[in-house]
């Protein structure tokens, strides 16, 4: 599966969670995942999580490592499974670099004690399922208690490339596994 790290920082406001954002940004057509660093500020206009809308729980961070994935012809439930696979890829990369960290995955989020590391959502469009997952780089000035890559002394770009490779390989392996199985009656 296609993956790419965008070297230019850009702010994430939720408008990027849309079909063909990867095509518009990189020129790649088809399934893919990209990563970039930048601030995050998602308010009511682009919030898609109904629970967060109901509680006015907006997303704000000075600097995050963002991952946006798009899978065509994939229903939302399968997209949510891939969302959790992306979060698991981030968790595995953290554990590889900092095995002493006690980061735990709960659903589609990562926590270090009561500090939240990530935000994540999967949403369906008429032609694809899109995923946004981000991990804090800077944990200052967030609406909830957070930890970020800076707290663990982890550099964002090499970490992003590790996560992109892991997730891309997992998606490829799922595809191959679906092709090799003999049908049952």
Q: What is the pLDDT of residues 33-51, one digit of tens each?
A: 999 999 999 987 787 877 7
- Is residue 133 assigned to a domain? yes
**Domains contained in the chain, number:** 1
| Residue predicted with more confidence, 103 or 58 | 103
- Is residue 124 assigned to a domain? yes
Rounded-to-5 percentages of helix, strand, coil across the chain: 35, 30, 35
Q: pLDDT by residue (tens digit) across 56-100?
A: 767 899 999 999 999 999 999 999 999 999 999 999 999 999 999
Residue 38 is predicted with a pLDDT of 98
- Is residue 135 assigned to a domain? yes
pLDDT band of 122, cuts 50, 70, 90: very high
Q: What angle do CA 15, 18, 24 make, to 5 degrees?
A: 95
Bridge partners, residue 130, by sequence? 70, 123
Burial of 16 (0-12, 13-18, 19+ CB in 10 A): buried
Full-model pTM:
0.95
E-assigned strand segments in the chain: 2-5, 32-42, 59-72, 103-106, 109-112, 115-116, 118-124, 128-136
CATH number for 56: 3.30.930.10
Q: pLDDT by residue (tens digit) across 2-44?
A: 999 999 999 999 999 999 999 999 999 999 999 999 999 998 7
- Is residue 24 assigned to a domain? yes
Residue 48 is predicted with a pLDDT of 81
Residue 93 is predicted with a pLDDT of 98
Residue 54 is predicted with a pLDDT of 75
Burial of 161 (0-12, 13-18, 19+ CB in 10 A): middle
- Is residue 185 assigned to a domain? no
CA distances from 98 to 30, 37, 68, 95, 126 (A): 33, 21, 24, 5, 40
- Is residue 111 assigned to a domain? yes
Residue 96 is predicted with a pLDDT of 96
Residue 57 lies in domain: 2-180
3-state secondary structure (DSSP) of residue 7: coil
The backbone torsions φ and ψ at residue 32, rounded to the nearest 5 degrees and listed phi first, read -175, 170
- Is residue 151 assigned to a domain? yes
Cα atoms found within 13 Å of the Cα of residue 13, Cβ hemisphere only: 6
CB neighbours (10 Å) of residue 114? 8
Query: Could you give the CA distance from residue 3 to residue 164 in angstroms, rounded to a whole number?
Result: 6
């Amino acid at each position: 599966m296609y993956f790419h790290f965008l070297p230019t920082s850009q702010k994430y406001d939720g408008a990027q969670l849309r079909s063909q954002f990867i095509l518009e940004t990189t020129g790649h057509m088809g399934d893919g995942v990209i990563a970039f660093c930048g601030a995050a500020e998602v308010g009511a206009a682009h919030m898609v999580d109904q629970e967060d809308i109901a509680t006015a729980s907006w997303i704000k961070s000075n600097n995050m490592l963002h991952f946006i994935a798009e899978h065509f012809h994939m229903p939302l439930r399968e997209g949510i499974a891939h969302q959790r696979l992306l979060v698991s890829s981030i968790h595995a990369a953290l554990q590889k670099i900092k095995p002493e960290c006690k980061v735990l995955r709960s659903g589609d989020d990562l926590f270090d004690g009561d500090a939240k590391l990530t935000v994540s959502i999967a949403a369906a469009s008429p032609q694809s399922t899109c995923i946004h997952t981000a991990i804090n780089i800077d944990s200052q000035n967030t609406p909830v208690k957070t930890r970020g890559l800076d707290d663990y002394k982890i550099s964002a770009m090499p970490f992003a490339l590790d996560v992109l490779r892991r997730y891309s390989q997992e998606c490829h392996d799922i595809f191959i596994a679906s092709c090799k199985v003999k049908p049952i009656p």
